Each structure stands twice: as C-alpha cells, then as structure tokens.
Amino acid sequence: MAKRQAWDPEKAQRILDAALQEFAAAGYYKASTQHIADQAAVSKGSVFRYFDNKKTLYFKTIDMAIARLKSVADFKVWTDSADLVSMILRATQYKTTLSHQYPAEFTLLLAVYRGDATIPKKLATAATAIFDKWQAQNVAELVDPIVARLHLRQDISKSVLEKFVQLYVQQMMAYTQDYMMHHPEIKTMADMGPIVSEIKQFMDMMEHGIVAPESN
C-alpha cells in the first residue's frame, strides 16, 4: 500500500491562497479545482488529499479569510471612538481601506454574507453560519466598550440594550458602506459631510424616537 504523503504546511497554504483567489473570482460553482491546483503548483490529487473535497476547501478558505482579516485589523479604530456616530464612520472608512488591501478576502466574505447565487443553497447556509458567528462576536467585542460609556435607560435590561445597539450599528455600517461604494470620491472624513449629517439624524431618532412630543 502506498505511503500517505506527510502534511506539508507550505503546500497547504499555497492551495488555500489559490483557492481564495479562485472562489472570489469565479464563485463556488464555477471555481475550478484544476485551476487551483495549477496556481498552487500542486497536482489536483494533492488538493483533495489535503482538503478531501471542494466543499471542505471552501469552508477552510472562508476560515482563512476571516482569520487573516482579524489578524491585520486595528480594532482601536472602533473601541477608541468617542461615540457610536464616530465609530460607525471611522470603522466604515477603515473597512473600505482594508477591502482595497485584501480584495479577494472581502469579495469571498461578501458573497457569503449576501447568500450569493454562486453558492449552493445548503452550502450557503452553513457558510453564512460561520460568517454570522464571527460577525456577532466581532460587533459585540467592538461595540460593548462604547455602549458602556453611554448614559442608557435603567428600566431595560443591559443585555437587551446591548443587542439593540449592536443590531443598529450593523445596519448603519452596512448603510454607510453602501453609500461609500457609490461615492468613490470620498477619501477622508472631511469628505463625509452628507452621510455624517444623516447618521447624526438617525442617532437622534434612535435616542429620542420619531414621534413629536405632545404640547401641553
């Protein structure tokens, strides 16, 4: 019986790096394991010896993309913000910068986040679960220190308040990111006047509601 090849970390990493580029560019369905093998300078058989099948390789590639972004991200951009408005704006601008530095990672994770049609439905559900778990942990770790500095109502449990703020921040960051994607001319915080004004109004509505106080 042929002796099984020893695990070569460098070879495994080459396969993952090639898979990242292929899945980001082609999507899951159209991604070619032969092309991944060629780009990694290994045989197609080696791809499956290391990662069993295409689905396993896809999940491992998602894990790698998340780990890579976590390792390079400067979370002080979030936690050092004075309030939620500045955190949302600074974080979105920083996220945009990172997306230019790591385009394949962001393209892959965005496809997972959107439930892209290039991913089989069952596979997309499992992949989204990986992403959602990471995002939930991430937002909680980044938002909670800022929430702790805010003057919040005492008649609602802290856990409910924190969850509400986390959901709000996620939505505002998605909204701000979409705005910036459609306004590539924005380069600095000074260019963000319109969106700053809008988010401040959203914050005011979150804090004080949308119903005008009754006059006495």
Place of tokens 């319109």: 194
Q: Is the dihedral of CA 74, 79, 80, 84 positive or negative?
A: positive
Least confident of 11-20, 75-84, 106-115, 181-190: 181-190
* pTM, two decimal places: 0.69
Q: Which tops the pLDDT comparison, 127 or 205?
A: 205
What number of helices (H) and strands (E) belong to the chain?
10, 0
Domain 7-62: CATH superfamily is: Homeodomain-like (1.10.10.60)
Q: How many CA within 13 A on the CB side of residue 126?
A: 11
pLDDT digits over 10-68, tens only?
999 999 999 999 999 998 989 999 999 999 999 999 999 999 999 999 999 998 998 89
| CA nearest neighbour of 158 among 143, 147, 142 | 147
Describe the crossing of helices 9-30 and 54-72 by its angle, rounded to 10 degrees.
110
Domain boundaries, the chain: 7-62, 73-208
Do 89 and 179 meet the contact criterion of CB atoms below 8 Å apart?
A: no
**Whole-number pLDDT of residue 54:** 95
Is pLDDT above 80 for 151? no
Q: What is the chain's mean pLDDT, rounded?
A: 81
Task: Report the run of H or E that residue 129 belongs to, with start and end.
Answer: helix 121-147
pLDDT digits over 183-208, tens only?
777 666 567 778 778 888 887 788 77
For residue 2, name the pLDDT band (cuts at 50, 70, 90): very low
Question: If you ran DSSP here, which 8-state letter would residue 189 be given?
Answer: G
In angstroms, the CA 192 to CA 35 distance is: 42
Q: Which tops the pLDDT comparison, 102 or 121?
A: 102
Binning the chain into helix, strand and coil, the percentages to the nearest 5 are 75, 0, 25
In angstroms, the CA 214 to CA 56 distance is: 59
- Residues counted in the chain: 216
pLDDT digits over 171-180, tens only?
887 787 777 7
